[in-house]
A and B are shown apart, each in its own frame.
Chain A
Amino acid sequence: MNQIISGKAYVLGNDIDTDQIIPAEYLVYNMDDPKERRLYGLYALSGVPEEKAGLPKGHIPFIPENEETSPYSIVIGGKNFGCGSSREHAPAALDIAGVQVVIALSYARIFYRNAVDGGFLIPYECADDLTQEIETGDELVVKQEINLLSNTTRGKSYALKPMGEVAGIVQNGGLFEYAKQNNLMNMDSRNE
């Protein structure tokens, strides 16, 4: 786990649902096949209406034309990020596209859980509505140790809420890693 994460911001609004994050028609590709897996990254956030893609201006593709991954590694959202379907393909697609961190006002619980347990990205919460503070393309720095977000483009900083109860799982990189570390998997009698 990195202590400092820096990257460009991609700003979205409220209630970004998992159909926007990865439309249902793409949920057929094999995650374990390298050629198919990259399609999840390619189609990440392709469900967001153009005018709302990359606020405040909009009409900024998350994946540039002729590319498969995103130059934006930090996604900024409003309230209820990741609502809708339980598809774990959603945080996975963002991860495959290159997203390391999402910072939102609040999350829908299944998306939050999937992001944490699958170790796809770190879902930070922030008490400030960053969608009104940050513009797509701003350079951001997340200092994990002190839960601080800095916008180096605009010279402002914001407190991030500590990970709290799920910190252990996040630190280990996911549920299985955490469980193995803490002897929570009764695996021995299961294998043949």
Chain B
Amino acid sequence: MTITEKILAKHADRAHVSAGENIWIDVDVLMTHDVCGPPTIGIFKKQFGHGARVWDPKKVVIIPDHYIFTSDIHARRNIQVLRDFAKEQNLAHFYDPGTDTYKGVCHVALAEEGFNLPGSVLFGTDSHTCTSGAFGMFGTGIGNTDAAFVMGTGKLWVKVPETMKFIVEGERPAYIMAKDIILKIIADIGVDGATYRAMEFDGEGILSMNMEERMTLCNMVIEAGGKNGIIQADETTIAYVKERTDRPFEIYENDSDANFASIHIYQAPKLEPMVARPYLPSNGVAAASLNDVRLDQCYIGSCTGGKITDFMAAARILKDQQVKVKTAIVPATQIVNQKFDTETVDGKTLREIFTEAGAEIGEPSCAACLGGPVDTFGRLNSNEICISTTNRNFHGRMGSKQSQTYLASPFTVAASALTGHITDPREYLNAD
């Protein structure tokens, strides 16, 4: 069996499962946020009764993150619904925007708070729940009805996916980030190239990455239609997990005779900085070929590109320089935000570097990655052309239907901010 098959078999209490089988599995964590939580709760109460209790108040994790810093009354109402539910159900894990416990972007918070445990099963009412697969666990996105079902029973049906294996061999060049790799892969296989399948990442080019880069890789599995991403847990994973929790975990490996649907091999030294043109994440081309694209905005943030690793990368380029276009910087979580004052590049804090460069820093949340209410920080409200570290560039994704979004790594977005047009980051990165 593959790693994914083993995790699912364990949670179905079966010795063996095969790809293609429909099975019922036990769930370790159900995560929801402010956009999908309230409708999920509505269905839960309708189906299980208004006095119903969740299957396990320690396993329902509520992380508001989407529409937080807005005056939109309906968005704020959603947060109150979550507040009331968390209190009523005595939930152990609710991160209230009105308080010090607020975290920010759910997928990053799940990692920070030690909910990503190798060998576990996590469902989230968000398509980027596949991010968690970076920890050698099964994480995937579901809708409100499925989540309500889990809320009441702690179980859900899944179809066991086949696994596609992606191996990146060799040493990654210093200017190549996880974002470049996943954009290249999606360009090669298409937005439905991995539909119903697990995407497993392996090879020196992958395992040399830290956990945050591995998260970025798995984060965009959904953009190829993938069911879940998976990277076998190793010393890097164990170290990250143990720093944050002493909850138990289990590491699975592929059997030597495990079957893979397909195997794709990349040579890391041959990779180039990539940019996905509008309007599909699969429209990846070399950043160097888009020099003529003038920009109105640069955006660095989201679960894909708003972690501290992403900002350290951007800071290396932005240090002692001035941006030529509006540059929005959105730390994914409060912890990332706080690190802006403690992490440094050549003695300057990230916050100093970004502010001196002329960038604007927003509050930790999903912010403009998906547009959101019209007063959202960084939202595109007209026909702006934006390059961002986010995950989707569909029509109107970041706001107005007239706007355009190009997707790229933090290095590429930072370099582009300095020139005002799409720029290959090698122009700004010397061999350090």
- A residues sitting closer than 8 Å to B (CB atoms) are 15, 17, 19-20, 23-25, 27-32, 36, 47-49, 79-80, 83-89, 106, 108-110, 113-114, 117-118, 165, 174-176, 179, 184-187, 190-192
Task: Check if B260 is an interface residue, CB within 8 A of chain A.
Answer: no
Is there contact, CB below 8 Å, between A83 and B227? no
A interface, over-half SS = loop
Residues in A with CB closer than 8 Å to B141 are 86, 110
Within B48-88, the residues touching A (CB, 8 Å) are: 48-49, 51-53, 55, 67, 72, 74-75, 77-78
Given contacts A28-B67, A80-B192, A108-B225, contact A47 B395 (CB under 8 A): yes
Residues in A with CB closer than 8 Å to B127 are 84-86, 110
- B residues sitting closer than 8 Å to A (CB atoms) are 22, 24, 35-36, 38-39, 42, 46-49, 51-53, 55, 67, 72, 74-75, 77-78, 125-127, 129, 141-146, 148-149, 152-153, 159, 191-192, 195-196, 222, 225, 227, 280, 370-374, 392, 394-397, 399, 401
Given contacts A28-B74, A84-B127, A190-B152, contact A110 B52 (CB under 8 A): no
The answer for the CA separation of A91 and B372 in the assembled complex, in Å, is: 19
Expressed in whole angstroms, the minimum distance between the Cβ of A179 and any Cβ of chain B is 7
Q: Which of B125, B225, B396 contacts A109 (CB 8 A)?
A: B225
Is there contact, CB below 8 Å, between A113 and B53? no
Q: Which of B49, B78, B146, B159 contacts A114 (CB 8 A)?
A: B146
Q: Which of B24, B35, B143 contacts A113 (CB 8 A)?
A: B143
What residue in chain B is nearest A81 (Cβ atoms)?
Answer: B192
Is there contact, CB below 8 Å, between A28 and B145? no
Is there contact, CB below 8 Å, between B48 and A191? yes
Given contacts A19-B396, A25-B374, contact A87 B143 (CB under 8 A): yes
The answer for the CA separation of A28 and B127 in the assembled complex, in Å, is: 18
Q: Which of B47, B52, B53 contacts A176 (CB 8 A)?
A: B47
Is there contact, CB below 8 Å, between A29 and B74? yes
The answer for the CA separation of A29 and B53 in the assembled complex, in Å, is: 25
Given contacts A19-B392, A32-B42, A108-B195, contact A25 B373 (CB under 8 A): yes
Residues in A with CB closer than 8 Å to B78 are 28
Residues in B with CB closer than 8 Å to A89 are 39
Q: Which of A15, A24, A109, A190 contacts B280 (CB 8 A)?
A: A15
Residues in B with CB closer than 8 Å to A80 are 191-192, 195, 225
Residues in A with CB closer than 8 Å to B125 are 86
The answer for the CA separation of A27 and B78 in the assembled complex, in Å, is: 10
Q: Which of A27, A86, A185 contacts B153 (CB 8 A)?
A: A185
Residues in B with CB closer than 8 Å to A191 are 48-49, 51-53
The answer for the CA separation of A37 and B313 in the assembled complex, in Å, is: 44
The answer for the CA separation of A124 and B44 in the assembled complex, in Å, is: 27
Is there contact, CB below 8 Å, between B394 and A19? yes
Residues in B with CB closer than 8 Å to A110 are 127, 141-143, 222
Other A-B pairs beyond A85-B127, A86-B141, A192-B51, 11, CB < 8 Å = A15-B191, A20-B396, A25-B371, A25-B372, A80-B225, A86-B125, A88-B145, A110-B143, A174-B145, A175-B145, A191-B49
What residue in chain B is nearest A114 (Cβ atoms)?
Answer: B143
Expressed in whole angstroms, the minimum distance between the Cβ of B275 and any Cβ of chain A is 19
The answer for the CA separation of A28 and B37 in the assembled complex, in Å, is: 11
Residues in B with CB closer than 8 Å to A19 are 370-371, 392, 394-397
Is there contact, CB below 8 Å, between A109 and B149? no
Is there contact, CB below 8 Å, between B152 and A83? no
Expressed in whole angstroms, the minimum distance between the Cβ of A73 and any Cβ of chain B is 22
The answer for the CA separation of A117 and B43 in the assembled complex, in Å, is: 12
The answer for the CA separation of A24 and B66 in the assembled complex, in Å, is: 10
Is there contact, CB below 8 Å, between A118 and B145? yes
Residues in B with CB closer than 8 Å to A88 are 36, 39, 143-145
Is there contact, CB below 8 Å, between B35 and A47? no
Given contacts A19-B394, A28-B373, A179-B149, contact A106 B75 (CB under 8 A): no
Expressed in whole angstroms, the minimum distance between the Cβ of A85 and any Cβ of chain B is 5
Residues in A with CB closer than 8 Å to B370 are 19, 24, 85
What residue in chain A is nearest B146 (Cβ atoms)?
Answer: A117
Expressed in whole angstroms, the minimum distance between the Cβ of B347 and any Cβ of chain A is 40
The answer for the CA separation of A133 and B373 in the assembled complex, in Å, is: 38
Expressed in whole angstroms, the minimum distance between the Cβ of B227 and any Cβ of chain A is 6
The answer for the CA separation of A31 and B144 in the assembled complex, in Å, is: 11
Is there contact, CB below 8 Å, between B142 and A86? yes
The answer for the CA separation of A110 and B124 in the assembled complex, in Å, is: 12
Is there contact, CB below 8 Å, between B74 and A47? no
| Most chain B beta carbons < 10 A, residue from A86, A89, A118 | A86
What residue in chain B is nearest A79 (Cβ atoms)?
Answer: B192
The answer for the CA separation of A118 and B36 in the assembled complex, in Å, is: 14
25 interchain pairs, CB-CB under 8 A: A19-B370, A19-B394, A19-B397, A27-B35, A28-B78, A30-B74, A47-B394, A48-B395, A80-B225, A85-B126, A86-B125, A87-B36, A87-B143, A88-B39, A109-B196, A113-B146, A114-B144, A117-B146, A165-B22, A174-B145, A185-B152, A187-B153, A190-B48, A190-B52, A191-B53
